[in-house]
Amino acid sequence: MTHLHQNLPFSFLLIFSLTTLVSSHSRPYSPPSVTHITNSFPHVTIESAFSNAFGASNVKFLSNGSMATLALDKISGSGLVSQSRYSYGFFSAAIKLPAGLSPGVVVAFYLSNADKFPHNHDEIDIELLGHDKRNDWVIQTNIYANGSVRTGREEKFYLWFDPTQQHHYYSILWNSYHTVFFVDNIPVREFIHKNTPSFIYPLKPMSLYATIWDGSEWATHGGKYPVNYKYGPFVVSLAEMELSGCINDPKSPISSCSKSNPSGLDPVDGAEFTKLSQQQIGAMDWARRKLMFYSYCNDRTRYKVLPPECQ
């Protein structure tokens, strides 16, 4: 159990009532067209790129290791962790979420170094929060550094599709310029580093995790709707994993890019990765206007003085 907690996101979450949420099945939103950033990076074999983080009996590899399923049952959740640590990169997975009644179920795709820096770790989080009969799955993004969970930068969005019917892309771009979160290649959030003190955003190498776990204590109205294992096991499917970044060499005091990259350059350092295109900016504006329902920048109760990047 201790090992499990070490590998879960440490998000500090404020849950707002979702009882009036309109179902994605009837939400009349058609996403704008964007260039598919996921086409810029190769797929990796999940079985060879990841190790079991916890709940190994609930992890299954399929299609010669190119796909995987993670399950949550009343005994344990489960998770994978990348075999390498990364300083900057592009991290993406096609994810199909569990169907049915799933309050309290949390599927997380995130970067963290909590195992190496338990008291001052960094995280870049995508957390998909399960729903009850009235509510859809929603996505929460968060970013923090040096263990400062109380200064977390959470934002929450509705999805414009049913994420339980087929696989959809969830992606993170992290480089020296910015951190960007994507859903089906549409940027939903850009965190520009120069607008924020350096102690706020991650700088230390991190591992990539994919997990499913019981978030009953906080994920639904402060625990009002715990996981109901009568509807379990809850199974999440992972495919088309992409993991391209600067691999951290533990023998070196500084990070270096993978020697397998012939150019020897950071794979997310090009102009197309350090600045969003006008098309991407327009799509992000659409997502934030139509789908965002919580941002820390609008939370005056939590932040009497708004963080500098919100000014």
Domain that holds residue 204: 2-17+26-310
How much of the chain exceeds pLDDT 90, in percent? 61
Is 47 assigned a catalytic role? no
Cα dihedral sign for 184, 128, 195, 86? negative
CA distance to 53, 158, 183, 271, 281, per residue, from 34 (Å) = 34, 19, 11, 17, 10
If one compares 270 and 28, the residue with the highest pLDDT of the two is 270
Top mean pLDDT of 50-59, 118-127, 218-227, 299-308 is at: 50-59
As a whole number, mean pLDDT of residues 263-269 equals 72
18 has pLDDT over 60: no
Query: What is the per-residue pLDDT for 3?
Result: 39
If one compares 151 and 306, the residue with the highest pLDDT of the two is 306
Closest CA to 161 of 181, 182, 184, 143: 184
Secondary structure element (H or E) that encloses residue 49, with its range: helix 46-49
Side-by-side strand order, sheet with 50-54: 50-54, 78-82, 207-214, 105-112, 123-129, 138-144, 155-158, 292-295
The 8-class DSSP code of residue 310 comes to G
How many domains, the chain? 1
pLDDT in tens, 202-235: 888 999 999 999 998 776 666 678 899 999 999 9
Query: What is the per-residue pLDDT for 69?
Result: 98
Q: Are 186 and 290 a contacting pair, CB within 8 Å?
A: no
63 has pLDDT over 80: yes
Query: What is the per-residue pLDDT for 219?
Result: 67
pTM of the model: 0.88
Query: What is the per-residue pLDDT for 1?
Result: 34
Q: Are 248 and 254 a contacting pair, CB within 8 Å?
A: no
List the CATH number of the domain containing 207. Answer: 2.60.120.200
Average pLDDT over all residues of the chain: 85
Q: Single out the catalytic residue among 47, 127, 154, 240.
A: 127
Q: How far apart are CA 302 and CA 100, in angstroms?
A: 33
57 has pLDDT over 90: yes
Q: Which of 233-242, 284-293, 299-308 has the lowest mean pLDDT?
A: 299-308
Query: What is the per-residue pLDDT for 197?
Result: 79
110 has pLDDT over 50: yes
pLDDT in tens, 156-204: 999 999 999 999 999 999 998 999 999 999 999 999 988 787 788 888 8
Is 217 assigned a catalytic role? no
Query: What is the per-residue pLDDT for 250?
Result: 63
If one compares 126 and 3, the residue with the highest pLDDT of the two is 126
